[in-house]
Structure 1
Amino acid sequence: MSGPRMMMGGSAERSMDFKGSGKRLLRQLAPDGALLWTMLAAAVVSVGFSVAGPMVLGWATDRIFAGVVGRELPEGSTKEATIEGLRNEGDDGLADMLSGVGFTPGHGIDFTAVGQILLVALGLFLVSGALALVASRLSIKVINRSVFRMREEVQAKLSRLPLSYFDRAKRGEVLSRVTNDIDNIAQTLQQTMGQLINSLLTIVGVLAMMFWVSPLLALVALVTVPLSIFIAARVGKRSQPHFVQQWRSTGKLNAHIEEMYTGHALVKVFGRQKESAEEFAEQNEALYEAGFKAQFNSGAMQPLMFFVSNINYVLVAVVGGLRVASGTLSIGEVQAFIQYSRQFSMPLTQVASMANLVQSGVASAERVFELLDAEEQEPDAASAELPERPAGQVSLEKVSFRYDPDRPLIEDLSLSVEPGHTVAIVGPTGAGKTTLVNLLMRFYEVTGGRISLDGVDVARMSRDDLRSAIGMVLQDTWLFGGTIAENIAYGSAREVGRAEIEEAARAAHADRFIRTLPDGYDTVIDDEGSGVSAGEKQLITIARAFLSDPVILVLDEATSSVDTRTEVLIQKAMARLSHGRTSFVIAHRLSTIRDADVILVMENGAIVEQGGHDELLSAGGAYARLYSAQFAEAVAEVD
């Protein structure tokens, strides 16, 4: 397997490293350690007060029950005498039960004491709620800051990835990782982190209170815990691979949609709507199947955990009733314990029910980490060098390059270009013309030999310094959503004024058509350049290159997709732009290369001929064959 599928992490069936990826995701929170500890402290105190509540309410229940019992007994007697009388009458069961009740014969319910206890419980719950709100706000802040940093890391990583990564990756797949997967991580953390911490603290606090009230009942409540852990582990193991597949299918579907939307005109021209819809349906079906299986498997956890919780409740109620009957525990203590058993089971159920969210978030995190771990381009030299006087002299010395280690493309290529000269590069498709330019720009690194600019090895220069000296005008124009003025100004690394922008547009013969637009230079266009023609978009990119004022100019098939009139304008603009600059021109049009100082003919990654137009024609070699095949008809039309 090779290509994007291999690069994106292998087959969909491969199970992810849940534990490792989960730990790495949590490490993203580490820079906000102080906030995390504050949040944890607030959560501990909040849970502590919340856990104390049932015991306080149990005291109120005991007071009420003691008053009810005492009211029915004659005043003047004592608790001990009453119990002794019951035993003498043979009612040992009732005597045992009342032995655990703090009643006073003849005294009813002490509503003042009960009211004070309830006020204490209310205060505990109010403070617990306020601290829970503080913990929640801190949790949200930590999560948003962590996701903010993750987006920054991804953006920085994308700028460090080599061009080869984007050559192999589908754009929609990369966008899915940068947008959908990071959004899913944020949603997962927001919905689970605070609740998970609260649930775990509640489990610990409630368990401590349960052992304090009755170790026997606590052990009874713990009987179902191994069953809960077994269910969570089994369900999680079954559902995790489906979450991995779900997000892989999401990336593939996004890639297909992005490709079909970008090329929707071609899809219609070639009548491929049906095939496109069928592929969409296939990818959509795969996403549905993966999503259904993931949600169904993980969704089974909550009802199973509720079933276990009910078993726990029944066991505690039965054993607790027996302990009250024996007088070992009071009714209030059993009431508190039953609440604790519910509080104990509920966090376990909540943790289990969050498993699908956690698994989905970790699956997305692994996809983002795969991007962050992708092999980067070689870093710039520690001590970057710069030419003393940039003039545009380019030298290639025995340069070799291959995309695939087993398939050489360029071997032992040498070339010297003097400052200010125009070099035309021609040859059949796949000869290595564009690759040569990519090596000059350091989009790819040479596998052998060296390329130098004004005597300095480009490998010793920083990429920013190198590329700032080179202006490119490509066949595929690229514009972004914004005004035309902003698109032209994009060519300069410094702040430029409107006068400089308009001067660059005039030099590129773009000023005239720009002024005919509704808002002139302030006309807003989208990233596809809607509202302007292909030739006009090309003129805008040339104006952008003018503004960058490069030492070296690269023109890669810049006029291959425009009409003859626009081509004339573009040729004039490029002639002005290339004047006094070293220029590399990759083109098939005769008008582009006839006046070049040197014409290089490339075949199979090697320069097989070089010289002037007339010289190469008279030689009757590879250039002459290309001329006969590609240019003879064009010359006839011009003449």
Structure 2
Amino acid sequence: MSAESATNWQTYRRLLSYVRPFWLAFLLAVVGNIIYAAASTGMAAAMEYVIKAIENPTDQNRLMLTGMIVGVFAMRGLGTFLGQYFINYVGRHVVNALRNQVFDRLLRLPSRFYDDHSSGHLVSKLTFNVEQVADATTNAVTITLREGLTIVGLMGFMLYTNWKLTLIFLALGPVIGFVVSYASKRFRKLSRRIQGSMGDITHVSSETISGYRVVRIFGGEQYERDRFHEVSGRNLTQSLKMASTQAISVPVIQILVALSIAALVWVMLAPEIRGGMTTGQLVAFITAATTMAKPIRQVTSVHAKIQKGVAAAHDVFETIDEAPEEDSGTFAPERVKGNISFRQVRFHYRDQLDDVLKGIDLEIPQGQSVALVGRSGSGKSTLVSLLPRFYDYTDGEVLIDGVALPEYTLAALRRQIALVTQNVVLFNDTIAANIAYGALREYSREEIREAAAKAHALEFIDRMPKGMDTLIGDNGVMLSGGQRQRLAIARALLKDAPILILDEATSALDTESERHIQDALDLVMKGRTTLVIAHRLSTIEKADRILVMDGGQIVEAGRHEDLLGQGGIYAQLHQTNFSEAG
């Protein structure tokens, strides 16, 4: 067995391990398929009695024959129900378990994983790929069990009736096996390509749908149409290759089976082979051989579904096996004071050689507000991303209250930090649910309203049709940019964390709204350690300390007036970027 086939078998065996909790339902499915196979074999064996009844039509034979027909079809019906229902019961539970497991792992994967994978491809794993696995664990297993057991039953009957003729029938078995093996490898390869192209389709469509306004205003319809047609066409090409392989392999196998049956009929007429078989036995034997053509075709055609499922399972298990965020810390304080220390901190992204942060040394006492300014790419956002451990620094040390970040449990560390970013994330839920999101759900309606009031959000919330219970659409599409940002600020206010990170928190607000928000931020920043990334003068000039970053280093530090007086980088930034706000 090659390394590839061994890996595929291991994958399928791992997939079948998910069946174990539902062993009783699986056993009932097996019993149902055994009943079906026995009934199918019984139909072939019954041909001997049909011939006898025709040759000798007594009342007893007529009664026995009609009873046998009804009995065989009743058995097949019972077997079909048990086999199909219970294997689908197992399959859907397996899919549910896999889908939950993939989603749970996605919630625990580090930021770099999301940097490397588009959201469209990840959604495709949860939808398309998992459904491919469903086919491998339901339809494929049903057909393999039912038709496989039917082949075994018919083969047993044929061996019992005349073993010499059966061996002749089996002579083309190795050739059929070769065709199946070749088709399986091709199915597997094409399935991987189809999964990749489905991920591309999901990715392109989700980008276009979420960014439809930009697409329309910049005339991107034709570009997006061409992009979608390209990835959809690639999926079509691979799907047609899969269909052609399946369409060719099935009739080839049928022809091989037909050649076996033809050779059988040719030889069975020879007296030395036929032996003492009666006409009824001969007809029953030929019926069994011809009946076997359908299950052989079904079993060989099901390889396409199995290989699709194995290829999809490879991809699904690859995600499940991704290493989650490292969370080996044990320190879990209820609330920290908020003293932050950066000691010779260096950081570079995984695929980059140059450091983004180059030996940052910084002490921020509790309750102090620090503004980070600098040109794009200077390392401001990267620096604050280290605090909640969205990324782990590559050298040096970051401490909160004298304890290194890795010593905290992730849950405890992130409980200490509230975050408001420029790109506000809202959910297709009510206003109240968006403010009191996640762990904040325990807060009362009065506390939620108080946070909204501090963020000056009640001004528009109370004008909404259902107030706090108004649904705001996908990512808050029914709200303006300023309203969305005020909800994010209300969420941070409600959390009441000792450390606050404001990354362009007032960028989407008009001047009047910003003045109200700034009052609220001044209130909430009191007694909290606050890191502010902003380009607006009004947010920066009141900070206790301003740090100017350039090239991954802190090049200037001081208060607003002092830095202006130095005439350095901050003064230049103020002159170019802040003059309009001033």
**Take 1:482 and 1:325, find their aligned partners in 2: how far apart are those partners?**
77
User: Which stretches in structure 2 are left out of the alignment for 5+ residues?
Assistant: none
**Take 1:319 and 1:344, find their aligned partners in 2: how far apart are those partners?**
18
Matches within 5 A, 1:315-394: 315-322=263-270, 328-381=276-329, 384-387=330-333, 390-394=336-340
Matches within 5 A, 1:42-61: 42-61=32-51
User: Which stretches in structure 1 are left out of the alignment for 5+ residues?
Assistant: 1-13, 68-108
- Give the TM-score taking structure 1 as reference length: 0.86
Matches within 5 A, 1:614-629: 614-629=561-576
Distance of aligned partners of 1:394 and 1:19 in 2 relative to their CA distance in 1, 3 Å threshold: same
Matches within 5 A, 1:75-474: 109-120=57-68, 122-322=70-270, 328-381=276-329, 384-387=330-333, 390-404=336-350, 406-474=353-421
Provide Cα deviations, 1:391-430, integer angstroms capped at 9, x if missing partner.
2111122222111362212122121111111110111111
Other structure's SS at 1:435 match: helix
Which residue of 492, 510, 519 maps to 2:457? 510
**Take 2:297 and 2:168, find their aligned partners in 1: how far apart are those partners?**
18
One-letter amino acid of the counterpart of residue 312, structure 1: S
Residue 128 of structure 1: how far off its partner (Å)? 4.2
Name the Cα RMSD after superposition.
Answer: 2.3
Other structure's SS at 1:400 match: strand
Which residue of 540, 548, 561 maps to 2:508? 561
**Take 2:130 and 2:170, find their aligned partners in 1: how far apart are those partners?**
38
1:508 and 1:543 in contact (8 A); partners too: yes
2:268 and 2:274 in contact (8 A); partners too: no
Other-structure match for 1:523: 470
One-letter amino acid of the counterpart of residue 61, structure 1: I
Count of residue pairs brought into register by the alignment: 578
**Take 1:15 and 1:586, find their aligned partners in 2: how far apart are those partners?**
53
Residue 182 of structure 1: how far off its partner (Å)? 1.0
One-letter amino acid of the counterpart of residue 231, structure 2: Q
Distance of aligned partners of 1:282 and 1:56 in 2 relative to their CA distance in 1, 3 Å threshold: closer
Larger Rg: 1
Identity %: 33
**Take 2:93 and 2:271, find their aligned partners in 1: how far apart are those partners?**
52
**Take 1:451 and 1:323, find their aligned partners in 2: how far apart are those partners?**
92
**Take 1:585 and 1:481, find their aligned partners in 2: how far apart are those partners?**
28
Distance of aligned partners of 1:252 and 1:15 in 2 relative to their CA distance in 1, 3 Å threshold: farther
Other structure's SS at 1:546 match: helix
**Take 2:125 and 2:244, find their aligned partners in 1: how far apart are those partners?**
24
Other structure's SS at 2:549 match: strand
Q: Does 1:27 align with 2:17?
A: yes
Moved more, 499-508 or 364-373: 364-373
Q: Does 1:36 align with 2:26?
A: yes
Other structure's SS at 1:113 match: helix
Distance of aligned partners of 1:323 and 1:149 in 2 relative to their CA distance in 1, 3 Å threshold: farther
Distance of aligned partners of 1:16 and 1:257 in 2 relative to their CA distance in 1, 3 Å threshold: farther
2:187 and 2:308 in contact (8 A); partners too: no
Residue 164 of structure 1: how far off its partner (Å)? 0.9
Other structure's SS at 1:528 match: helix
Other-structure match for 2:52: 62
Other structure's SS at 1:472 match: strand
2:44 and 2:291 in contact (8 A); partners too: no
Other structure's SS at 1:397 match: strand
1:542 and 1:573 in contact (8 A); partners too: no
One-letter amino acid of the counterpart of residue 48, structure 1: A
**Take 1:324 and 1:336, find their aligned partners in 2: how far apart are those partners?**
19
Distance of aligned partners of 1:325 and 1:205 in 2 relative to their CA distance in 1, 3 Å threshold: closer
Distance of aligned partners of 1:388 and 1:489 in 2 relative to their CA distance in 1, 3 Å threshold: closer
**Take 2:562 and 2:392, find their aligned partners in 1: how far apart are those partners?**
33
Residue 342 of structure 1: how far off its partner (Å)? 2.2
Provide Cα deviations, 1:133-177, integer angstroms capped at 9, x if missing partner.
223222111111111110111011101210111122111111111
**Take 1:329 and 1:246, find their aligned partners in 2: how far apart are those partners?**
52
- Give the TM-score taking structure 2 as reference length: 0.94
Provide Cα deviations, 1:421-440, integer angstroms capped at 9, x if missing partner.
11101111111111111100
Distance of aligned partners of 1:16 and 1:290 in 2 relative to their CA distance in 1, 3 Å threshold: farther
**Take 1:443 and 1:325, find their aligned partners in 2: how far apart are those partners?**
77
